[in-house]
Structure 1
């Protein structure tokens, strides 16, 4: 068994998606776990990452 591997393509895609989400949150100064909790609970305190990225790009 190789550490960090998945058993299926679906598992690999899920792992890759969460890794990408975590990296994007980090780049934008957002806690990954706070963002995930916010999305799952529907709180809305943290804007969608698409808005965060657009705002950061506009600031240049």
Structure 2
């Protein structure tokens, strides 16, 4: 029996893709996810404070322009 060309191409594709991810690549991916999570946490916890400070700054600037 002969293998069809299409089936052989699929097998070659999967054979080429196996073992592509190493320990270092997985470690880097996990580190990036952790860093992004930390950034999101910091922004989320401080967002109210930052908005309040900016609002106060704008209101002060408006008051200075009016008076």
TM-score scaled by structure 2? 0.35
Asked which structure has the greater RCO (Cα within 8 Å, sep 6+), the reply is 1
TM-score scaled by structure 1? 0.39
More helix by share: 2
Larger Rg: 2
